[in-house]
Structure 1
Amino acid sequence: MIISQTPIRISFVGGGTDIANFYRQYGGEVISTAIDKYISVCITREQNSQIAINTPDHHETVSNPNHIQHSLIRESVRKTDIAGGVSITVTSDIPSRGCGLGSSSALTVGLLNAVYAYQGIEMPVEILAHQACEIEIERLNQPIGKQDQYIAAYGGLQRIQFNRDESVHTQDIPVTLEAVAHLQQNFILFYTGIQRRAETILHEQKRSASPQTLLQMRKLVSVFYDALVKGNHDGCSYDEIGHLLDHAWQLKRSLCDSISNPMLDTIYESAIAAGALGGKILGAGGGGYFLFYVPTKKQKTVTAALSDLGLSQLEFHFESKGSQVIEGKNLNESHYPYRWQRHTTQTPYLRFS
């Protein structure tokens, strides 16, 4: 049995600048963190030649990998040349796809990691992220960016740059344990209960988004980075993070009409009125999860206000590690005699000092 565990993510600033039609012209940049909610993939060897797929909302058994209906799993299996004789089971700590936490990319990264482990390969994180992008963006033509795949593979609190030449640079943000504790205490996450198709919103955003707005969103990354690193020192305050999130949300919601709606506006206004300093819808928008920055003394009031609107809170912590194989190694030695081959680098992860 092989089990991989891959974190989902929270994106703070810069989302939208990681999409190819923007970063190829201007360069993109985001700040995101992995959190301790996971997509788990379990692979077991079967005695027959079939491939059995089981996810929370999808079940199928096929003899030919090309016939797999679940597109992400099909393309991941094809990419890694699994012919058959396996069972693939996917479980998730969050409700469903379409919630804005990067679960689809976490699944793709985690499945690649698990299949390579099944084949006896310890694949470096940059290749997992790159191949997940290839599957989702190139093979499946999804109108998405690259940040979700990279944060799922690398983990930690990251500043990620997407360069015009297609190279990607990741940087662990140097924050202290004290800073991490403070941030975790002041961020709260609520599920709106609204599911949406990110592809629809992203297609609209691609058509209507102003490059000037996206350039402003990219500029926020450096300011947000400084706020994270400086914290309550040098005349700065962590509360600036809340105000920056508010600025980021106002820019984001102006990209296209479907990012927000009257219900989401009501939620946001209620949270601000109750004491939140800022917040944003995660992912493409239109529903899913709302992240707010709320001083601890105001959190009961904000939580009560959002609960009255029917939202449910998801408690979380930052996760320093990316996708990992947490159980098992090579179960298929007769097929892959090179066994646990390490290709290049060790997995980097955030070290809190």
Structure 2
Amino acid sequence: MIITRTPFRVSFAGGGSDLPSFYKKHEGCVLSTSINKYMYVSIHPTFDRKITSIKYSKAENVEDVRKINHPIARQLLLDYKVSGVEINSIADVPSGTGLSTSSAYTVGLINLLKAYTGKYASQAKVAEEACRVEINKLGEPIGKQDQYGTAIGGLKFIRFLSDDTVDVEPVIVKPKTRQKLDRNLLLFYTGLTHSAGEILKEQSHNILSDEKKFENTIRMTELTKEMYRTLLSDDLDRFGEILHENWELKRELSQGITNYTVDKYYDKAMNAGARGGKLLGAGGGGFLLFYCDRCHQDRLRSELSDLVELPFSMENGGTKVIYVGEKDWD
């Protein structure tokens, strides 16, 4: 048996600028971090090697890999010419909640199949392959930040260039700044899930067809760069304010990004003392992230007491193989 562990990611600013409809015309960028909530994927030869088994929220058992319904698992097993195995996945959070569960699965499975077939690739190469699978082969209308955000660990500034390359720069901050940031970031689950593909498809169309929305996205990249500078200068008060300014711009990019429930809880948190926040992922549901000074956190938690809080912290590892058993396959 082999097991990989891939972190989920929290994106602070710049989401949407990783779509080709934007970065082909203007350089995109996001500031994000991997967190200590994970996707685990394991592989083991099946007892009956004629059967390939995929277990996620459903269970599939097939003799022909081409008949697997799960598109990512099917594509990658075909790419790596692997069959006669059982692949299981389990996650710390539900899917469709804005923490990049789908891309974390893709990244984790690529890392897993490389280990299983005796190949090696850097985290950046795993991220690049995950983009190629999800965007080019499966035709998902998504960007590139999730693949790089989950494959490569730590706090990072990611640039999306017009030639389709991606540049990842680690953000090195003082220990006290990192500790304060960890302490003042709070996550709450709205109970709503969403279809990222549909929202991003509309957002991509709007960026191409609406000049104001394109200008909004440019402004979001400028805020992302400023947010990066706030971390280097230990100005976390401004970091929180930029979270709010970025959210105000993002919610104008597509109708599906926010809704009554999201707005209600967001307003409650801001009135309770949060400096800023945003909905993670494409929009429509999932997790709300807030930056809130410790002196206001009890009040904020009280105002959002009917939501589930997810305690978390930033992590540095990225996707990795965490277990390799004795070789018991051909």
TM range (shorter): over 0.9
Distance, in Å, in 2 between the alignment partners of 1:333 and 1:127 is 26
Aligned partner of 2:309 among 302, 309, 313: 313
TM-score (norm 1): 0.89
Residue number in structure 1 paired with 2:219: 216
Report how far residue 206 of structure 1 moved: 1.7
Q: 2:44 aligns to what?
A: 44
Give 1:49 shift.
Answer: 2.1
2:210 maps to: none
The CA deviation at 1:46 is 2.0
Q: Does 1:129 align with 2:130?
A: no
Structure 1: gaps (5+ residues): 232-236, 335-353
Q: Could you tell me whether the CA contact under 8 Å between 2:45 and 2:329 is conserved in 1?
A: no
Whether the 8 Å CA contact 1:28–1:218 is kept in 2: the answer is yes
CA–CA distance in structure 1, aligned partners of residues 116 and 312 of structure 2: 30
Distance in 1 between residues matched to 2:130 and 2:224, nearest whole Å: 24
1:140 positional shift: 1.3
Partner of 2:60: helix, strand, or coil?
strand
User: Residues 266-303 of structure 1, C-alpha deviation per residue, up to 9 Å, x if partnerless?
Assistant: 11110010110110000001110000000001000001
Please give the secondary structure, in 2, of the residue aligned with 1:26. coil
Deviations 1:9-33 (A, max 9, x none): 0000111000111111112111110
What code does the residue aligned with 2:105 have?
A: L
- Secondary structure at the aligned position of 1:16 is classed as coil
Distance between the aligned counterparts of 1:9 and 1:160, measured in 2?
A: 13
Give, in whole Å, the separation in 1 of the partners of 2:133 and 2:160.
18
Is the 8 Å Cα contact of residues 98 and 195 (structure 1) preserved in structure 2? yes
Answer yes or no: is the 8 Å Cα contact 1:41–1:114 preserved in 2. Answer: yes
Take 1:198 and 1:126, find their aligned partners in 2: how far apart are those partners? 23
Q: How far did 1:148 drift?
A: 0.5
Q: For 1:31, what is the secondary structure of its paired residue?
A: strand
Any residues of structure 2 matched to 1:268-279 within 5 Å, and which? 268-279=266-277
Corresponding residue SS for 2:269: helix
Contact 1:120 1:329 in 2 (8 A): no
Provide the C-alpha distance between the structure 2 equivalents of 1:65 and 1:126, rounded to a whole number of angstroms.
Answer: 28
How far does residue 178 in structure 1 lie from its aligned partner after superposition?
1.6
Where 1:204 maps in the other structure, the secondary structure is: helix
Q: Deviations over 1:33-89 (max 9, x none)?
A: 00000000010112322210111x11101111111101111112122221x221000
Residues 118 and 332, structure 1, Cα contact 8 Å, conserved in 2: no
- Contact 1:189/1:291 (CA < 8 Å) preserved in 2? yes
What residue is the counterpart of 2:237 in the other structure?
239
Aligned residues: 324
Q: Structure 2 counterpart of 1:199, which letter?
A: G
Instruction: Give the alignment's Cα RMSD to 1 decimal.
Output: 1.2
Aligned to 1:16: 16
Q: How does 1:59-78 map to 2 (within 5 A)?
A: 59-78=59-78
Q: How much has 1:332 moved relative to structure 2?
A: 6.7
**DSSP-derived class of the 1:91 partner:** strand
Runs of 4+ aligned structure 1 residues displaced above 4 Å come to none
Alignment of 1:50-61 (within 5 A): 50-55=51-56, 57-61=57-61
Cα distance in 1 for residues equivalent to 2:203 and 2:325? 42
| Shift, 1:208, TM fit | 2.1
User: Counterpart of 1:129 in structure 2: which amino acid?
Assistant: A
Partners of 1:329 and 1:78 lie apart in 2 by 24
Instruction: Please give the per-residue CA displacement for 1:172-212, whole angstroms capped at 9, x wherever unaligned.
Output: 00112221111010000000001111112112212224211
Matches of 2:326 and 2:73, distance apart in 1: 20
CA distance in 2, matches of 1:81, 1:183: 44
Partner amino acid, structure 2, of 1:254: E
- Look up the match of 2:117: 119
Paired amino acid for 2:226:
V
The question of whether the paired residues in 1 share the 8 Å contact of 2:107 and 2:127 is answered with: yes
Match for residue 282 of structure 1? Answer: 280
Find the counterpart in structure 2 of residue 226 from structure 1.
Answer: 229
Q: Which amino acid aligns with 2:221?
A: R
